[in-house]
Amino acid sequence: MSTDLNIEESNSSAAAIRPPVVAGQWYPDQPEMLAQIVDTLLNQANPVDGQPLGLVVPHAGYIFSGAVAASGFRQLRDGDYQLAVIIAADHRPPLSQPIAVWAKGGFETPLGTVPVDEVLAEALIAADPRIHFDPAAHLNEHPIEIELPFLQRVCPNCRIIPILMSSPNEETVEALTKALLTVLPDQGTVVIASSDLAHYPKFEDAFRVDQTTLAAIETGRMAEVRATIARLMAEGVPNLKTCACGLGPILVTMGVAAGRGADTTTVLHYANSGHSPRGNADKVVGYGAVMMWRYQPLSLTFEQQQYLLKLARATIAGYLQSAAIPNLPPVDPALLRRAGAFVTLRSAEKQPYDRPKAQSSTTRSIDEPTLKLRGCMGHIPANLPLYQVIQNTAVSAATADPRLSPITIEALDDIVIEISILSPLERITRIEEIEIGHHGLLISQGEQRGLLLPEVAERAGWSRRTFLEQLCRKAQLPPHAWQEGADLYRFTTLKFKEQK
């Protein structure tokens, strides 16, 4: 398809339709095939709790990064979005101006034309002298075009504002962030950074660099991202050309999302080109999908809590009798919200509480009885409806806790069920960010992971440092791994249990 565009006539909306330049190369140019591939990728992606205010998605050919991009765009499917601001860095000769907006007409793909929101695009250009209408800058750039078929399938009525940035310097990032916060509507808008991650190191180096970069993004702190990338680039990783080709767009998206109320950042998916059958493990490009969103704490009424406890008990009983999880979907929409949770089973037969050596005057006495643990299992990601998580984890706690023998149907009447619903994981970097009794912790390093619920440290009387060392042991890591490159997260819980 021709990419000719009469720039002199592009002030006319009818003339300013940007044709696709990588259709048939990086993604299919046949509409039916393209729609089928995109829909398949979207359907394979996991939805998570929350509505995105910002996304980071990759922009390589679909055979390499399509599944990662779909993980980001899947989160838009259930929302009411009318506008997507898509920001990318220029990959061609430097822009003549710091920020180039395509402000008229639309972008064409094999699935049709995605219209530009001309009113808001013009308002954005008017908001700062560094922002210009520059259609020529967009003609041969692929990072915005490659995202559009996904957007068309999840938000078919969405308008766009396509933006290219020339530099990730602080002045340009601040200018675009401030302008977007000035002109964007409060509702129905998502800002999308189009960016790949590490360029051209070998597979193992790319994985390490990308996990470090994503960890910095997940903190939500722009200064942390800049400092982390500067440090990584200074390490001299062989053949590493950049940690994120869209660093500027990522920083702007973080700033705009935070300015519009986002308080949680979640990494959704990671892969690199070495994972593809057509990839070269000696020279890869990394891809990550990240979501920025506003967390709304889950609040359940007493009746809803009792429903979940009864659901857990009925599910265990049904499974022990038939070896199948019963289908018991709730009517209450609050129980369809996606969340992670743990189910703990204890025997009503009390046993002495054996306190570890570390003690605290604020915790229970050593002679206070506690219930005997009979099973505890959890599901951490917020990617399933809450009622399903409770059913699945209740069965796992009863039958699959590797530390304990399975519960029998005869013993079920003596079991007390406790449910802990998890908040989103929040990455932390300082020990002072941990509040004993309020925060649970998760640690991850390589293939090793470990999690301890908030009450564990409080009940044992641990200090923060002891809590971290015990967490490392739970993950089968050295006791000081939390200080040596492991990823550390905190969370809170909504906890309730049966009363007997």
Q: Which of 105, 96, 297, 271 is nearest to 196 (CA)?
A: 271
pLDDT tier, 349 (very low <50, low <70, confident <90, very high otherwise): low
Read off the pLDDT of each residue in 421-425 and give the average, rounded to a whole number.
92
Question: What length does the chain have?
Answer: 500
Check residue 6 and give its pLDDT: 45
Read off the pLDDT of each residue in 444-453 and give the average, rounded to a whole number.
90
pLDDT tier, 49 (very low <50, low <70, confident <90, very high otherwise): confident
pLDDT higher at 62 or 298: 62
Q: Which of 122, 191, 154, 208 is nearest to 42 (CA)?
A: 154
pLDDT tier, 355 (very low <50, low <70, confident <90, very high otherwise): very low
Checking if the pLDDT of 297 tops 90, the result is no
Q: Where are the domains of the chain?
A: 7-293, 302-497
Checking if the pLDDT of 34 tops 70, the result is yes
Phi/psi of residue 160, nearest 5 degrees:
-130, 160
Read off the pLDDT of each residue in 126-141 and give the average, rounded to a whole number.
95
C-alpha distances out from residue 86 to 114, 291, 353, 444, Å: 12, 14, 56, 32
User: With a threshold of 0.75, does the pTM exceed it?
Assistant: yes
Checking if the pLDDT of 264 tops 70, the result is yes
pLDDT higher at 359 or 87: 87
CA angle centred on 422, ends 421 and 424, rounded to 5°:
150
Helices (H), 10-134: 31-44, 62-73, 118-127
CB 194 within 8 A of CB 288: no
Q: Report DSSP state, residue 18.
A: E
Phi/psi of residue 125, nearest 5 degrees:
-60, -40
Read off the pLDDT of each residue in 367-384 and give the average, rounded to a whole number.
80
Run of H or E including 122: helix 118-127
Check residue 484 and give its pLDDT: 84
pLDDT tier, 371 (very low <50, low <70, confident <90, very high otherwise): confident
Per CATH, domain 7-293 is 3.40.830.10: yes
Check residue 101 and give its pLDDT: 97
Q: How many CB atoms lie within 10 A of CB 288?
A: 29
- Separation between Cα atoms, residue 2 and residue 19, nearest integer Å: 7
Read off the pLDDT of each residue in 207-228 and give the average, rounded to a whole number.
93
- Separation between Cα atoms, residue 404 and residue 128, nearest integer Å: 64
Check residue 14 and give its pLDDT: 54
Strands (E), 116-188: 131-133, 159-165
C-alpha distances out from residue 162 to 1, 87, 412, Å: 21, 6, 59
pLDDT higher at 86 or 14: 86
Pick the CATH number of 302-497 from 3.30.420.480, 2.70.210.12, 1.10.10.10, 3.30.700.20: 3.30.700.20
Burial class from Cβ neighbours inside 10 Å (0-12, 13-18, 19+) for residue 432 reads exposed
Q: Which of 462, 423, 447 is nearest to 337 (CA)?
A: 423
CA angle centred on 264, ends 261 and 268, rounded to 5°:
125
pLDDT tier, 486 (very low <50, low <70, confident <90, very high otherwise): confident
Alpha-carbon radius of gyration of the chain: 25
CB 442 within 8 A of CB 489: yes
Checking if the pLDDT of 273 tops 80, the result is yes
SS3 275: helix
pLDDT tier, 11 (very low <50, low <70, confident <90, very high otherwise): low
CA angle centred on 120, ends 173 and 1, rounded to 5°:
90
pLDDT tens string 459-470: 999 999 999 999
Read off the pLDDT of each residue in 286-312 and give the average, rounded to a whole number.
95
Rounded to the nearest integer, the mean pLDDT of the chain is 91
- Separation between Cα atoms, residue 22 and residue 62, nearest integer Å: 11
Count of CA atoms in the C-beta half-sphere (13 A) of 325: 16
Check residue 359 and give its pLDDT: 34
Read off the pLDDT of each residue in 228-246 and give the average, rounded to a whole number.
97
- Separation between Cα atoms, residue 326 and residue 314, nearest integer Å: 8
Least confidently predicted of 126-135, 368-377, 386-395, 450-459: 368-377
Q: Report DSSP state, residue 405.
A: P
Q: Which of 147, 113, 145 is nearest to 42 (CA)?
A: 147
Checking if the pLDDT of 366 tops 90, the result is no
CA torsion 24→198→227→222, rounded to 10°? 30
Pairing of strands 17-18, 264-272: unpaired
C-alpha distances out from residue 99 to 169, 263, 444, Å: 12, 27, 39
Check residue 445 and give its pLDDT: 86
Phi/psi of residue 47, nearest 5 degrees:
-75, 150
Q: Report DSSP state, residue 378.
A: E
CA angle centred on 115, ends 114 and 117, rounded to 5°:
135
